[in-house]
Structure 1
Amino acid sequence: MNVTSTTDPEGFQLLLEETGENTGVFTGNFTFNLEYTDPVEETIKVWFRDKVYVTYFDVMTKAGLNATIQAVAVIVAHTGSIRWTKDPEYGVTELAVIEVTDPDLDTSTLHPDVVEGGQTYSKPIDPGKIYVWSSVEPDKYYTLTVIETNKTTGVFVGYVKFSTKESKAGDVPTLKVKPACSLKAIYFDAVDEEGSPRKIVARAWMRSHTGEISLDRETYPPGRKTASGLRPTEGAWVIITLKDLDLNIEPEGQDYVPKELVKAKIVRDGGVVHEENIGHLFKEYVNLTAIQVNVTEVEVNQTETEQVNVTTAEIVGGVFKAKWRIPSLAQRGDILEIVYFDQSDDTGKLQAKTVKARIMSHTGRIEVSPSTVPVYGNLTVRVYDEDWNLDPEVAETIPTDTSTGVWGGVDVFSYTPDLKSVMGMARVELRETGPNTGIFEANLTVGVDWLYADAGQVKPGYILKLVYNDDLDVSGGQARPEAYVQIQATTGKVKLDRKTYPLNGEILISVEDPDLNLHPKLKEKITAETQRLFIKTTDHPQPLYLTAEEVEPDSGIFQAKVTLNRDINASYRSGIFVCYIDEATAEGETDVPITAKAWVEQYTATLTFNKPVYAVDEREAQLTLIDPDANKNPDLIDYVDVVVKSSRDLAGRRVTLLETEPNSGRFEGTVRFTDEPRWIQGFLAVESYDRITAEYVDYDADPSHIANWTEGKPTILKVTAKAKIVPKIGLPVVLSPPRILNQKGKPVVEAKTGELLLIQAELKNTWKISLPVVCIFQVKNAAGEKVYMSWVKSRVEAEKSQTLGLSWAPEEPGTYIIEVYVWKSFEEPEPLSAPALLALKVLPSQEYG
């Protein structure tokens, strides 16, 4: 195999090797060279636009003849290019990316090619290199290393860093720069498309920025001008913000501002009375995150050795802050000037930037909340004065001194109601509500902080005067603004939830006294140890001291519970006496007893069926027993037993009624009945037209209900309820049990005399035609006497329900039975439904709980 070129027609013989055993396929490799031919290196000398010939002399073709087979290729060259990959304007913290494109540099198809750099030249004289240059150092050209982006792209990438301090050679060189300086990237193409060397230049430049300077306030207070006082003689701290990206020198560290670049001045009447350089006080405000270049080398296979991935990020910095204090010589009316000497604005020129503020004093004021407060109540004192707001980054304190009347401080005085006698005085420390608010606050408890109730300095009716000693008001003088607080007391109250109680009843005692509400966010207590709340009975004349707990935080209402004959002994007609000792009243009196009274009663039970008549196929009836004496355990649900008999079943069945809820004294249960001829366990045997009777033995009945009862005799009384069993009927209207509603529309089972009630009944028409109805409401007392009757005429649509009702106000206490009947009309008094009834207990209005 002979290899030749236009430049070297002699060439050399190339040895080929078979690709495998018995394949008949042979391969070989050779390279091109612009200077020489070497058979040993298997390289052929060429020049641009040469033709390269590969000739094979086949000694025997298929036809049995000799043949010459030749392949031809042409040597070409390309003109390279170079560019900065982003906007040609760069910041000092950025990492610049240089991209060179030249297929002539792609000399290997096996791996990405590399053009080495890292040298420094005075001129770009070495062909094939990539140079970078800065106008800050015009006699230095730095070469950089570029790496092909893939095996055969002919596109190469390299990186350049910037610094304002120094330059540095390397694969990734660092150029020394300054704002607005020029930058060049140069590719010295060894052979362009014409076969000649060529320098290709890409230009860029460094950004410069116009700086900004600002203050945190428009006015600043001066220091104290009085000979003595609590405020310092120096004025407020000034927070100065300087923004200039040209000062962002170190991307990985905190930059500083040269001392002479910023100047502070105090100007009075057009003349400078104070001046100092303060640039050294500035520190870069932003915590910069350094640029990280992550280089990952991945060995894919033998022919592709590495892949370089570079991640760049732009750092936002150049924000500086300084904290400088107004000197003691500054006076009200002076002008503060801060000057920044920007070395290079966005046009590259020097510029002085000035910001101004006024030195100004303020008139303070004091206020208290609330204006009326009880002893041990909470009081908030506030002072508003920007002259104390000296450091905007700190919540400051108006301190106390050893005596009252010191300028800058706050005092409190306690006066008698006529403001003639001072009973106490103290100093108050106030804390700023937050940095830079200028509002100072103290939250205190009257009688505990400052002045003490135990020492007689604070009492109900006294007046507190608070004084702020303002050392410098808006006019430049001094002032003492005042605020007043009236100390109040409330006369406590004690009350019981009822006037009478059953033998085992639970007494709920309520004490209302806002004076005891010391902590608005907590539930507080009247403890038994204070001996301020107690109960006595006729059977237990010694005081039983109680603990009462506040029902809700900040309510001032305290409650305690006592169960008779568990916590304290009591009997029928025993008196109950509860006493609260009020520590201080609205009249200023102390340890005043406030009392409430009640007594123990026995109650006769009432037993009722929910209806007076049951159809034999209804199968069950509801029983209700009301007996407060049967409520043996106020914290638990109690039960009672009732015996229910019928004309057919004289032995009857025992039915257990359960209390509807703890401490209610209301018991309910169900009796089931059947007309089956055989006896069924748990069912009461009945027949049509039977009478059923429920019996309950009340062992603690009201003695007044027992004939010929005398003191010392048992108080046992049998209470009964009766109903009728009627044959099965097919009445068209289903009448639900009636309901009693109070004026708020809520169902009740107890009421008081004179209370206006609404009696309601729901009628359901089961037929498929509308029915005219008259709904009759009748009320009977415990003796069976009718005390009220009225009616409502209406029409109930087919298969619809309708609620009807009338109002009634009971005049006498006692137990009443509410009966409801539905007739066709008065002209045709035909029942359309079974009657319904409900028991209601009515208490005297003064006894109602």
Structure 2
Amino acid sequence: MPLFLLLLSLIIFPAFGESIPNYDDPYSPIFTDKPVYTWTDKIKMTIISPSWNTDTHLIDSIGNTEDHPIKIAASDYFLKPYRFTETDVNSGIFTAEVVLTGFSHDVDGDGKTDTTPRTFGNGPTSGFLEVDRDSAITISFEFANGVVLTKSVPVSWNLGTIDFLNEPIFSENSVTIRIVDADMNLNPEAIDHLQIHVISDSDVAGITVNAIETSENSGYFVAVVSLSQNSPSSGNRLYVLSGDEISAKYNDHTLPKPFSKSDNLEIKTSTSVDSSIPPLERLNNSPPKFSDSFGKTLESFSSNVQMQIVGTIKNDHNFKQKFVYIFQVKNTNNYIESISWIQGEISPQQSLDVSQSWIPPKSGMYEVETFVWNSFDDPMTLSPSMSTVISVG
């Protein structure tokens, strides 16, 4: 061909790229950003198709024609043709997004539908598609006449989880609760909320708080609950005492198979609450004193005569504390002659006298011991024990 004719052909038909796809080499792999999706997810799709990079100086589009359409389908619902756009000039990489909108379903058990299923849009980011719980998303691209490339990814519900993030939990602090439940990411383009119920042994009615999604499409929800030993539960504040067990829970209404769509399951976690104050420093216990039935201090003791053993505890802290005060009397043979106890609660900065009566059975030496525990169920010593030896005539 003469040189001037070759130059003329290049001017009339610039060599910017392939104007039609290479039918003999249909290279257009389809990718999704996740291997599995939940029912109200956002699905991000990528098609690598250098053969459809028809203009190296412009952003190209594919899939938005009836001749070579891209179809996004889920069971009976589909979007077709759906447009993908090139990520950059001359990249040959095309992307699009579709928001899955689920189906009509009550996710919190209040009797109301919490989803808005809909199917419309033509791409690249304007699509909404209805899906069922156990379906699949199929992306098909008619790369060339009679050549259809496909990619399919499943859709399923998930079992939620809930846990406390900042264990051990101290009664003077706050507690952070995390829920992981992708199915409750009902709007992948907005921050969602999830209600949870939090209780303690000291407040079995508890509180209901909102857990807030950490980002628009995370499916991770976090709630912060402050703990108080002096104020009643209100809002995001929970009344607890040291030694309580606290629990957080919610009902999962989006359960995977073999559960049915109408099933729900309580998702719950529990942990114990402690105090940052060392156990032996929680209460002050004074050595026991002795008095008669009128409260007069005794200087001497007689057998078969009733006396009062008086213990004194003091709470130097700014929170209430439950206690069990134990009296124990042993003879010279280390045999326990008497054991008794008093259970109660002591207020902040309060000093409290507790007493029990005892009648010495005979003359001799006796050791009187006192102990302060938090409870009998899971005993923890709140103060060093005290011991006094008395002589009974």
Alignment TM-score, normalising by the size of structure 1: 0.28
Give the match for residue 166 of structure 2.
Answer: 611
Give the match for residue 47 of structure 2.
Answer: 511
Report the CA distance between 1:608 and its aligned residue.
Answer: 0.8
Report the CA distance between 1:445 and its aligned residue.
Answer: 3.2
Number of residues of Structure 1 aligned to a counterpart in Structure 2: 253
1:653 to 207, 221, 224: 207
SS in 1 for 2:263: coil
CA distance in 2: counterparts of 1:519 and 1:632, whole angstroms = 39
Whether 1:727 and 2:275 are equivalent positions in the alignment is yes
Report the CA distance between 1:598 and its aligned residue.
Answer: 1.7
Give the match for residue 75 of structure 1.
Answer: none
Give the match for residue 16 of structure 2.
Answer: 445
Whether 1:557 and 2:93 are equivalent positions in the alignment is yes
Give the match for residue 715 of structure 1.
Answer: 263
Structure 2 CA distance for partners of 1:513 and 1:697, relative to 1, 3 Å: same
CA distance in 2: counterparts of 1:510 and 1:554, whole angstroms = 15
1:499/1:597 contact within 8 Å kept: no
Letter in 1 for 2:97: K
Whether 1:599 and 2:147 are equivalent positions in the alignment is no
2:63/2:141 contact within 8 Å kept: no
Give the match for residue 623 of structure 1.
Answer: 177
CA distance in 2: counterparts of 1:529 and 1:684, whole angstroms = 59
CA distance in 2: counterparts of 1:605 and 1:703, whole angstroms = 13
Structure 2 CA distance for partners of 1:529 and 1:687, relative to 1, 3 Å: same
Structure 2 CA distance for partners of 1:546 and 1:677, relative to 1, 3 Å: closer
Give the match for residue 573 of structure 1.
Answer: 134
2:33 to 487, 497, 508: 497
Letter in 2 for 1:577: T
Per-residue CA deviations over 1:270-299 (Å, capped at 9, x if unaligned) read xxxxxxxxxxxxxxxxxxxxxxxxxxxxxx
CA distance in 2: counterparts of 1:520 and 1:663, whole angstroms = 34
CA distance in 1: counterparts of 2:209 and 2:235, whole angstroms = 13
Whether 1:643 and 2:194 are equivalent positions in the alignment is no
Whether 1:700 and 2:271 are equivalent positions in the alignment is no
Report the CA distance between 1:513 and its aligned residue.
Answer: 0.3
SS in 1 for 2:195: strand
Letter in 2 for 1:535: I
Give the match for residue 411 of structure 1.
Answer: 6
Give the match for residue 533 of structure 1.
Answer: 70
Give the match for residue 373 of structure 2.
Answer: none
Structure 2 CA distance for partners of 1:428 and 1:518, relative to 1, 3 Å: closer
2:18/2:51 contact within 8 Å kept: no
1:525/1:547 contact within 8 Å kept: yes
Per-residue CA deviations over 1:206-225 (Å, capped at 9, x if unaligned) read xxxxxxxxxxxxxxxxxxxx
Report the CA distance between 1:602 and its aligned residue.
Answer: 0.8
Identity level (%): 22
Structure 2 CA distance for partners of 1:493 and 1:640, relative to 1, 3 Å: same
Letter in 1 for 2:256: D
Structure 2 CA distance for partners of 1:528 and 1:644, relative to 1, 3 Å: same
CA distance in 1: counterparts of 2:31 and 2:235, whole angstroms = 51
Per-residue CA deviations over 1:23-50 (Å, capped at 9, x if unaligned) read xxxxxxxxxxxxxxxxxxxxxxxxxxxx
Structure 2 CA distance for partners of 1:572 and 1:682, relative to 1, 3 Å: closer
Report the CA distance between 1:528 and its aligned residue.
Answer: 2.4
Whether 1:670 and 2:211 are equivalent positions in the alignment is no
Report the CA distance between 1:518 and its aligned residue.
Answer: 2.6
CA distance in 1: counterparts of 2:182 and 2:96, whole angstroms = 20
CA distance in 1: counterparts of 2:149 and 2:233, whole angstroms = 64
Report the CA distance between 1:645 and its aligned residue.
Answer: 0.5
Which segments of 5 or more consecutive residues in structure 2 lack a partner in the other structure? 102-117, 119-127, 280-393
Report the CA distance between 1:629 and its aligned residue.
Answer: 0.6
Report the CA distance between 1:514 and its aligned residue.
Answer: 0.8
Structure 2 CA distance for partners of 1:550 and 1:447, relative to 1, 3 Å: closer
CA distance in 1: counterparts of 2:10 and 2:89, whole angstroms = 28
Structure 2 CA distance for partners of 1:568 and 1:650, relative to 1, 3 Å: same
CA distance in 2: counterparts of 1:580 and 1:536, whole angstroms = 12
Q: What RMSD in Å do the two structures reach over aligned CA positions?
A: 2.8
1:659/1:666 contact within 8 Å kept: yes
Letter in 1 for 2:229: D
Report the CA distance between 1:498 and its aligned residue.
Answer: 2.4
Alignment TM-score, normalising by the size of structure 2: 0.58
Per-residue CA deviations over 1:289-322 (Å, capped at 9, x if unaligned) read xxxxxxxxxxxxxxxxxxxxxxxxxxxxxxxxxx
Report the CA distance between 1:495 and its aligned residue.
Answer: 2.1
CA distance in 2: counterparts of 1:678 and 1:535, whole angstroms = 54
Report the CA distance between 1:665 and its aligned residue.
Answer: 0.7
Structure 2 CA distance for partners of 1:568 and 1:555, relative to 1, 3 Å: same
CA distance in 2: counterparts of 1:409 and 1:545, whole angstroms = 43
Give the match for residue 115 of structure 2.
Answer: none
Q: What does 1:324-363 correspond to in 2, within 5 Å?
A: none
Letter in 1 for 2:6: D
CA distance in 2: counterparts of 1:692 and 1:626, whole angstroms = 19
Larger Rg: 1
1:578/1:597 contact within 8 Å kept: yes
Give the match for residue 799 of structure 1.
Answer: none
Query: Which one has more relative contact order, counting CA pairs under 8 Å at least 6 apart?
Result: 2
1:642/1:656 contact within 8 Å kept: yes
Letter in 2 for 1:509: M
Q: What does 1:161-560 correspond to in 2, within 5 Å?
A: 404-405=1-2, 409-411=4-6, 427-428=9-10, 444-445=15-16, 460=22, 491-530=27-66, 531-540=68-77, 544-560=80-96
Structure 2 CA distance for partners of 1:678 and 1:564, relative to 1, 3 Å: closer
Report the CA distance between 1:429 and its aligned residue.
Answer: 5.0
Per-residue CA deviations over 1:56-115 (Å, capped at 9, x if unaligned) read xxxxxxxxxxxxxxxxxxxxxxxxxxxxxxxxxxxxxxxxxxxxxxxxxxxxxxxxxxxx
Per-residue CA deviations over 1:650-674 (Å, capped at 9, x if unaligned) read 1111111111111111111201110
Structure 1 residue ranges (4+ consecutive) displaced by more than 6 angstroms after TM superposition: none
Report the CA distance between 1:591 and its aligned residue.
Answer: 4.3
CA distance in 2: counterparts of 1:535 and 1:489, whole angstroms = 23
Letter in 2 for 1:607: I
1:615/1:729 contact within 8 Å kept: no
CA distance in 2: counterparts of 1:626 and 1:521, whole angstroms = 45
Per-residue CA deviations over 1:366-404 (Å, capped at 9, x if unaligned) read xxxxxxxxxxxxxxxxxxxxxxxxxxxxxxxxxxxxxx5
2:69/2:80 contact within 8 Å kept: no
SS in 1 for 2:98: strand
